[in-house]
Structure 1
Amino acid sequence: MAPLGVSLLGTTAAHAAFSPDGMDFYVDSATMGPIKSRVFRAADGNTNRVVYALDGERARDDDNGWEINTDVAHALTAANINVVMPVGGQSSWYADWKSPSTFLGVPAGTAAVQSGSGVTQALSGGPGKSYTYKWETFLSQELPNALRDRLGFSSTRNGIFGLSMSGGSALMLAAFHPSQFAYAGSLSGALDLSLPGMRDAIRVAMVDAGGYNVDALAGPKDLTWQHLDPFQFAPKLKANGTRMFISAGSGLPASTDAITTSTIQAMGIEAVALVGTKAFQSRWSALGGGNVVYDFPAVGVHNWRNWESELGRMLPDLSANIG
Structure 2
Amino acid sequence: MHTSHISNKTIKVLLATLTAFALAFVATPAAQADNRGWLRPGCSWAPQGNFIQACEVWSPANNRNMLVYIQASTNGGDGGLYLLDGAQVGARDSNWASHSTTPATYVNDNITLVMPAGGAGQFYSDWAAPATSSLSSGPQRPMWETFLAYELPGYLQQHFGVNPHRNAIAGVSMGAIPALTLAAHHPDQFRQVHAISGFIDPAMATHVGMIAGFSVAMLLHSGAFIWDWWSWNPLEASARALHADPVANAGKLRDGGVDVHVWSGNSHPGAGESYPGNLGADAISIHGETLITLSTNSFTDKARHQGLRVNRHFGAGLHTWQPWGRYMGDHKGDILWAIG
Q: Is 1:305 aligned with 2:322? A: yes
Q: Separation in 2 of the partners of 1:75 and 1:59?
A: 21
Structure (1 or 2) with the greater helix fraction: 2
1:169 aligned to which of 178, 195, 206:
178
1:151 aligned to which of 124, 137, 160:
160
Q: Which has the higher contact order (CA 8 A, sep 6+)?
A: 1
Identical-pair percentage: 28
Q: Which residue of 1 aligns with 2:96?
A: 66
1:165 deviation in Å? 0.8
Q: Separation in 2 of the partners of 1:272 and 1:218?
A: 24
1:57·1:91 contact (CA, 8 Å) conserved in 2? yes
The one-letter code of the counterpart of 2:252 is K
Q: Separation in 2 of the partners of 1:253 and 1:213?
A: 34
The one-letter code of the counterpart of 1:62 is R
Q: Separation in 2 of the partners of 1:254 and 1:260?
A: 18
**Structure 1 residues 99-248: aligned runs within 5 Å:** 99-103=129-133, 122-125=134-137, 129-196=138-205, 197-218=209-230, 221-248=237-264
1:253·1:267 contact (CA, 8 Å) conserved in 2? no
Matched residue count = 284
* TM-score, normalisation: structure 1: 0.82
The one-letter code of the counterpart of 1:246 is V
Q: Secondary structure at the match of 1:232?
A: coil
1:124 deviation in Å? 4.1
2:77·2:110 contact (CA, 8 Å) conserved in 1? no
1:278 deviation in Å? 0.7
5+ unaligned residues in a row in structure 1: which ranges?
Answer: 1-16, 104-121
The one-letter code of the counterpart of 2:260 is M
Q: Which residue of 1 aligns with 2:278?
A: 260
2:136·2:224 contact (CA, 8 Å) conserved in 1? no
1:287 aligned to which of 303, 306, 310:
306
Root mean square deviation of aligned Cα:
1.9
* TM-score, normalisation: structure 2: 0.79
1:34 aligned to which of 41, 53, 65:
65
Q: Secondary structure at the match of 2:192?
A: strand
1:271 deviation in Å? 1.6
Q: Separation in 2 of the partners of 1:287 and 1:272?
A: 23
2:61·2:146 contact (CA, 8 Å) conserved in 1? no
Q: Which residue of 2 aligns with 1:320?
A: 337
**Bigger CA radius of gyration:** 2
In the TM superposition, what whole-angstrom CA distance separates every residue of 1:11-30 from its partner, at most 9, and x where no partner exists? xxxxxx72251112221111
